[in-house]
Structure 1
């Protein structure tokens, strides 16, 4: 079910997400090889820890009712960065990724501020990452597994065993952000303590800090558009639900 477009993003509630790997001839990347090389040189000069490994991008997305069917293909991280940094110019390829949205028992959403060595340094994100060949299972791409893995790697949090697999798709700015809201049984302070303890144990943690958001008033300019759009939609829905109960 599609909602309004907060921050220019379409918000679509999904009951099922199906993703598959396909072969795709990406003409933009082939025709802009010099731009890709130069962009990568500039990026690595500022952030030497970047690694040009294989990633998966979307070349087709069809949403019918509450079911999304997504097609992805393999390319390189350097090509993806050049495409994204250039504003996703051809319109046929999208950055599709999955993320767990951790909700605490006392109603906070927990996000992380990206470390200085990452491609999105300083931005406030849900734990997420671009899918890669390690997420492929036969012809399918395991978005749920990708999101759970990123959550564990970045925060040390395991998904609750009974967590429902409902998705929200945020579509805009050349992105397809598939967010899976999950309610944890602990309060925000307890979860933050666990996340910070995990970061201390890491040699080079992805996150430089944890941010708790409790209302739309906490939405920050350091959050990318899809994060702001989700939070605005979620807290607006919560406010409407409370008004109906009174």
Structure 2
């Protein structure tokens, strides 16, 4: 994997297989201590099961990889410690919400979350609910995360056919543009109304990105790289 690359692909082939992860097994005590410290900072995070990837291949408009199950504590330690196992990557789906006036719509993560203050499109680390017939269902994951975080459903947007796979270090953001038939301010107002009805929403604010000047340091590089490419193509 390169430090930064964007691959546009039409198909995904993401098998889920039972694979032992030596990092998680050999450093279990350290991982547990690290997670306990993170829970003291943010008691709402929990050690659920997630899926990480390995062996990514981009070829002829196609992306293939193998995913395996691990616990969130191991993922968090691997991420926080600078990705000590370079053979593993975090590959997740993102719904790039685009309003009818061209504004991209992003959410700011709440202070109780593991990514507090970060601004990006609705997404989430894949978990066991995203597995269908032995494969990772990234399109389904995107639909689920969009609805959970914003209240928007498949009836509210039209998904582009292709995926923009943004590779940054040990992350691959599998991004699909979702076009909404309403302007940016209307989208923001609708999502904010949905957040107001939630007891503990994941998002604390909604941001509209209409140009390069709207990019901020709190947006991950995979988001800003995607936005830069989109605006350059206009």
Partner Cα distance (1:36, 1:117) in 2:
20
RMSD: 1.3
Where 1:50 maps in the other structure, the secondary structure is: coil
**Residue pair 2:49, 2:72 contacting (<8 A) in 1 also:** yes
Q: C-alpha separation between the residues in 1 aligned to 2:9 and 2:211?
A: 23
Instruction: Give distance in 1, aligned partners of 2:53 and 2:127.
Output: 12
- SS in structure 2 at match of 1:212: strand
Count the aligned residue pairs.
232
Question: After TM superposition, what 4+ stretches of structure 1 lie above 3 angstroms from structure 2?
Answer: none
Determine which of 78, 94, 97 is the counterpart of 2:73.
Answer: 78
- Counterpart of 2:141 in structure 1 is 146
Q: Does the CA-based 8 Å contact 1:24-1:59 persist in structure 2?
A: no
Q: Within 1, Cα distance between the matches of 2:158 and 2:183?
A: 18
Aligned pair partner of 1:213 in 196, 206, 209: 209
Q: How does 1:97-136 map to 2 (within 5 A)?
A: 97-136=92-131
Q: Which residue of 2 aligns with 1:241?
A: none
Counterpart of 1:229?
A: 225
Deviations 1:182-214 (A, max 9, x none): 111111111111100010000000000000001
Per the normalisation by structure 2, the TM-score is: 0.96
Q: Secondary structure at the match of 1:129?
A: coil
Q: What is the DSSP-based 3-state SS (H/G/I as helix, E as strand, rest coil) of the residue aligned with 2:82?
A: coil
Unaligned 5+ residue runs, structure 2?
none
8 Å contact 1:14–1:166 — kept in the other structure? yes
